[in-house]
Structure 1
Amino acid sequence: MAANSDLIKLAQKLTSEGPHKAEATPRRVRALLNGKYALDTTGAFHVWEHPYYPQFYVPISSISSSANLIQTSSIDGTDGKAHLARLSVGNKSTDRVVVFETSSLKDLVKIDFAAMDQWYEEDVPIYQHPKDPYKRIDILSSSRSVKVALDGVTLAESNNPQFLLETSLRPRYYLPPTSVKWEYLTKSETETYCPYKGKANYYNVNVNGKEYRDLVWYYVYPTAESAPVVGHLCFYNEKVDIWLDGVQEKR
């Protein structure tokens, strides 16, 4: 039960206050567990549990015949409107599941995104969390000069960056690999995932005897919408000094 304390708190909040926002989505949503589709639906909802990005909630009826969904216990403090559940396919299962019986979420199932092996929107894999339908990315080629430095050491200079503009976030500058001074970079083992850009790999930066971990990231296989930044490097704006057309930006 302790392992699901966050789900219990979430269910108590949603049954008493409702979600921040919930909207039906026309996307076909599927999720793999143990090599089989545990769910398949065109009736999913985007549910904003908080203002930042949505999660998929799917109808109970979308659970496939190859999967088994069993309600395990009623969640205290929800007046019987939410239950913990177990979803299993063959010998693999997850208890990171909540079934709702409250008005705005009635007969919908929340499955922890990370508990499934892979999620799909239509035939496209998605990572980390569902994409927000009100958020977009623009990638624009530019001839403006970008200079990156740290502790007085120039790390990169380019006159042909890619500007990545993501709704509600500051601009990011992706620089060609030939514009970077590689002697200051060492490979990191860190990997992160973004639903809009894909899997990111990282470099550490070493200047003046100090290592700054995961200060640079790049995408070897970005998503289709972010393809223009493939192989380019992006320095963490908030942690380095950046000059755009000779004017230094605030960190």
Structure 2
Amino acid sequence: MSDLAELASKLFNANKDSQPKIVGTEKRVRGLLNGQYIFDTTAAKLVWENGFYPNYWIPRSDFLSTVKFGEDKPVSGIDSSTSTLSVDNKSVASLVVPDSFNSELAGYVKIDFKALDAWYEEQAQIVYHPKDPFHRVDILPTGRHVKVEIDGVVVADTGSEGGVMSLWETRFPARWYLPRTAIKWEYLTPSDTHTGCPYKGEASYYNAVINGKEVKDVAWWYKNPTLESGNIVGMLCFYPNKVDTFVDGKAIEK
């Protein structure tokens, strides 16, 4: 079963109590495929398919003439269908819910986020995945003293200088971002790892070498964070599960 067919089965064969959350939005949402816009809508829906973050579903009526839908193929046991969207010689898979189907998603189309060249909300490009409107990130300066150890070796200590930023993100424990002057740089080396977050931006990583033993991706930082997370630019945050972190002398839970 294809990924989209499996998604359709989960969405429409599940009992009512397990149906995903669906929220409409008036934001202008546009998608780019093969260098051309394929839809332009202010009636998209955010659908929480995996429970962690939403994906956009687009009204079929708001797809532009630049795109052609391939032959619909019904998904076994349900009324929705998998199809292909094509712009010139480039095609991507989609999931189409017919207007006749008894669902909030009737008349809507799902396209995998990574399948398109770019997505836009108003005039801002969406990076990594759409943001959850119920998800907050608050960044607050704090006078807490933070010390980080690996196998008893201190790799970071804010001491009396402070400068810590505390980051509070929905569903996550507090994160402590430390100024670069608090880092014992003799223990850290740059990592090739990069990850992304729509709320904070692209993260780079450091490995630690302690007593000849390497600990991979022990800390991350943002060289060019998003505007809303600009207060943590350049600062390091250590993975609690890979280090021992003490905040005001108290060990935080791994």
Q: What TM-score does the superposition give when structure 2 sets the normalisation length?
A: 0.91
Cα pair 1:36 1:66 within 8 Å, conserved: yes
Could you tell me how far apart the structure 2 residues matched to 1:203 and 1:126 are? Answer: 27
Point out the structure with the larger strand share.
1
Superposition pairs of residues 1-251 of structure 1, within 5 angstroms: 4=2, 6-17=3-14, 19-78=19-78, 81-95=79-93, 97-101=94-98, 102-104=101-103, 105-158=105-158, 159-251=162-254
SS in 1 for 2:143: coil
Could you tell me how far apart the structure 2 residues matched to 1:92 and 1:183 are? Answer: 49
The amino acid across from 2:5 in the alignment is I
The amino acid across from 1:87 in the alignment is L
Could you tell me how far apart the structure 2 residues matched to 1:94 and 1:170 are? Answer: 38
Aligned length: 245
SS in 1 for 2:241: helix
SS in 1 for 2:223: coil
The amino acid across from 2:89 in the alignment is N
How big is each residue's C-alpha offset from its partner over 1:12-34, in whole Å with a ceiling of 9 and x where there is no partner? 12122363211111211112222
Could you tell me how far apart the structure 1 residues matched to 2:88 and 2:177 are? Answer: 44
CA apart distance, 1:68: 2.2
The amino acid across from 2:154 in the alignment is T
How big is each residue's C-alpha offset from its partner over 1:118-151, in whole Å with a ceiling of 9 and x where there is no partner? 2222222222221111111000011111111111
Residue ranges of structure 2 left out of the alignment (5+ in a row): none
Could you tell me how far apart the structure 1 residues matched to 2:125 and 2:179 are? Answer: 27
Cα pair 1:63 1:69 within 8 Å, conserved: no
Could you tell me how far apart the structure 2 residues matched to 1:36 and 1:176 are? Answer: 43
After TM superposition, the runs of 4+ consecutive aligned structure 1 residues lying more than 4 A away are none
How big is each residue's C-alpha offset from its partner over 1:103-126, in whole Å with a ceiling of 9 and x where there is no partner? 221010110011112222222222
Could you tell me how far apart the structure 1 residues matched to 2:151 and 2:50 are? Answer: 38
Could you tell me how far apart the structure 1 residues matched to 2:177 and 2:132 are? Answer: 23
Could you tell me how far apart the structure 1 residues matched to 2:49 and 2:62 are? Answer: 21
Could you tell me how far apart the structure 2 residues matched to 1:68 and 1:175 are? Answer: 51
Could you tell me how far apart the structure 2 residues matched to 1:77 and 1:212 are? Answer: 49
Q: What TM-score does the superposition give when structure 1 sets the normalisation length?
A: 0.92
* CA root-mean-square deviation: 1.5
Could you tell me how far apart the structure 2 residues matched to 1:36 and 1:228 are? Answer: 36
SS in 2 for 1:238: coil
Q: Percent identity?
A: 47
Cα pair 1:217 1:233 within 8 Å, conserved: yes
